[in-house]
């Protein structure tokens, strides 16, 4: 492995033949990460990472991270001590709960597609790094072919909106899950939601319902050519993952099927507070990970930190992530 101040490159062999990855893996440390010190979910300070799945160029781009104090309600069927032990087992600090945001891009021929849009600028401190890290990766956000959305939680869609509810990507096709759109765009849903989720519905209804470049996609349909929608509900009513294939290799963009791997990838039965229907989310999680293990599918996870992608292996009663780098 050769390293420089600008970045470093790992060979595919070094990453492991199990991934089915081709070419080189390019990692770029970001200036903000170097200046800000250690990041538990991004220990190498990556601003982005590039690798290939078959002929698909994949780039994972870091949007930042936050930390929250431990809360007995974060996992509603596990204790704070259980959560701390899970963090330690993953070699993570256990004093706070880390949460990271990593956006997946794929290049298919001359098309570049972004999955979800990050937290946006001016949001939670520690986030909003997507634009600068995408630029460092050589991605021009103004020239995307499409944006494909997994679900409508703020950290995934607020990057589509200005603080004044203007549209950031008015000239880019935006594809959203049809059942997710139907749920959040229904004016009647606001009164049915808990207080903490009413704001999402209000903002969706103030913005997306007037967008002319928005397209809806159903499960088992192509969001765009070469990107198949895979239903994975529970975290949100219409949460969608997306499957891409090239030759004998496959990539699954998971969105929020799990939170960080130490929490409910390793413990798929844990019910995290962000899941709107915890039992359905658990069923989706188990079904999804049994599938990706059996089919040896490379996955990217929105809250996995960096590198943000890898293969998944069965481990005891749960699953383990084997990162791409």
Residue-wise pLDDT tens digits, 167-176: 999 999 999 9
Measured over the CA atoms of residue 89, residue 124, residue 234 and residue 211, the dihedral's sign is: negative
Q: What is the pLDDT of residues 53-92, one digit of tens each?
A: 999 999 999 999 999 999 999 999 999 999 999 999 999 9
Q: How many domains does the chain have?
A: 1
CA dist., res. 122 & res. 192, Å (int) = 29
Give residues with Cβ within 8 angstroms of 288, minimum separation 6. Answer: 230, 232, 241, 252, 254, 257
Q: What is the pLDDT of residues 125-156, one digit of tens each?
A: 889 999 999 999 999 999 999 999 999 999 99
Cis amide linkage into residue 316, ω under 30° from 0: no
List, in sequence order, every residue forming a beta bridge with 38; answer none if it has no partner: none
Q: According to the model, what pLDDT value does residue 267 have?
A: 98
Please give the DSSP secondary-structure letter assigned to residue 313.
Answer: E
Residues of the chain with pLDDT under 50: 1-36
Half-sphere exposure of 152 (CA within 13 A, CB side): 26
Q: According to the model, what pLDDT value does residue 78 have?
A: 98
Q: According to the model, what pLDDT value does residue 5 have?
A: 27
Domain span holding position 19: 2-323
Domain CATH code at residue 132: 3.60.15.10
Q: According to the model, what pLDDT value does residue 124 have?
A: 79
């Amino acid at each position: 492995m050769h390293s420089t101040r600008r970045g470093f490159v790992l060979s595919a062999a070094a990453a492991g033949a199990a991934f089915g990855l081709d070419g080189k893996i390019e990692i770029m440390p970001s200036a903000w990460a170097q200046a800000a010190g250690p990041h538990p979910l991004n220990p190498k300070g990556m601003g982005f990472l590039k690798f290939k799945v078959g002929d698909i160029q994949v780039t994972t781009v870091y949007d930042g991270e936050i930390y929250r104090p431990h809360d007995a309600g974060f996992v509603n069927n596990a204790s704070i001590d259980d959560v701390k032990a899970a963090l330690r087992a993953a070699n993570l600090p256990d004093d706070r709960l880390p949460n990271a945001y990593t956006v997946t891009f794929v290049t298919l021929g001359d098309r570049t597609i972004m999955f979800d849009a990050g937290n946006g600028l001016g949001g939670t401190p520690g986030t909003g790094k997507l634009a600068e890290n995408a630029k460092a990766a050589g991605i021009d956000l103004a020239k995307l072919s499409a944006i494909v959305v997994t679900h409508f939680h703020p950290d995934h869609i607020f990057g589509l909106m200005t603080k004044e509810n203007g549209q950031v990507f008015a000239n880019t096709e935006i594809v959203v899950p049809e059942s997710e759109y139907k749920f959040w765009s229904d004016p009647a849903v606001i009164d049915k939601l808990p207080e903490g989720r009413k704001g999402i519905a209000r903002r969706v209804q103030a913005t997306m319902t007037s967008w002319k470049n928005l397209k809806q996609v159903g499960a088992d349909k192509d969001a765009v050519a070469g990107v198949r929608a895979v239903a994975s509900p529970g975290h949100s009513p219409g949460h969608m993952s997306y499957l891409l294939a090239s030759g004998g290799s496959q990539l699954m963009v998971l969105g929020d099927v799990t939170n960080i791997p130490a929490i409910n990838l390793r413990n798929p039965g844990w019910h995290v507070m962000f899941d709107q229907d915890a039992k359905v989310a658990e069923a989706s999680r188990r079904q999804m990970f049994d599938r990706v293990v059996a089919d040896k599918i490379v996955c990217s996870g929105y809250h996995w930190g960096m590198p943000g992608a890898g293969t998944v292996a069965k481990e005891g009663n749960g699953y383990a992530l084997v990162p791409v780098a």
